[in-house]
């Protein structure tokens, strides 16, 4: 469950390390964002090795896709999945991915969204 003011980790190779949630674009009544929702973020810190060749700049505003939350993700079968961190992937203005690689595993629920390309960039899937 992400809301305004939440700090998220970035799990792609765009160069950003931490982002700050400014606004929820799609989510539960515009208040909370869950896995698969869009948010507006500001870049708070960059990765140390990528500062010179980073595709993002500190302080700039981007859209982001929430891919992991600490809040339980309920499935139709009754199972619950939760992650250890809140994390997102940075998008540009046309909702295209800035990074070309995603680190870590993602829930399989992205198979049924319009962001199907996320699954091909990720390392593993969680059922």
Range(s) of the domain holding residue 29: 7-99
Q: What is the pLDDT of residue 50?
A: 65
Residue 26 in any domain: the answer is: yes
Averaged in consecutive runs of 10 residues, what is the pLDDT profile of the chain (127 residues)?
Answer: 94 94 87 92 89 85 94 81 92 92 88 86 81
Residue 2 in any domain: the answer is: no
Number of domains in the chain: 1
Residue 120 in any domain: the answer is: no
DSSP-assigned states of every residue in the chain: -B-TT-EEEE-BTTSEEEEEEEEESSSBTTTBB-TT-EEEEEEEEE-GGGSSS-SS-TT-EEEEEEEE-SS-EE-TTS-EE--SS-EEEEE-TTS-BS-S-B-SEEEGGGGGSS-THHHHHSSEEE-
Tell me the CATH number at 61. 2.40.150.20
pTM: 0.89
């Amino acid at each position: 469950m992400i809301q305004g003011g939440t700090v998220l980790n970035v799990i792609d190779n765009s160069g950003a390390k931490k982002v700050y949630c400014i606004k929820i674009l799609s989510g539960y009544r515009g208040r909370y964002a869950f896995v698969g929702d869009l948010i507006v973020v500001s870049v708070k810190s960059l990765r140390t090795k990528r500062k010179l060749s980073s595709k993002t700049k500190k302080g700039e505003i981007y859209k982001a896709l929430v891919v992991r939350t600490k809040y339980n993700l309920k499935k139709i079968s009754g199972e619950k999945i939760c992650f250890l961190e809140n994390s997102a992937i940075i998008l540009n203005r046309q909702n295209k991915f800035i990074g070309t690689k995603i680190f870590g595993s993602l829930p399989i629920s992205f198979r049924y969204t319009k962001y199907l390309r996320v699954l091909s960039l990720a390392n593993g899937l969680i059922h």
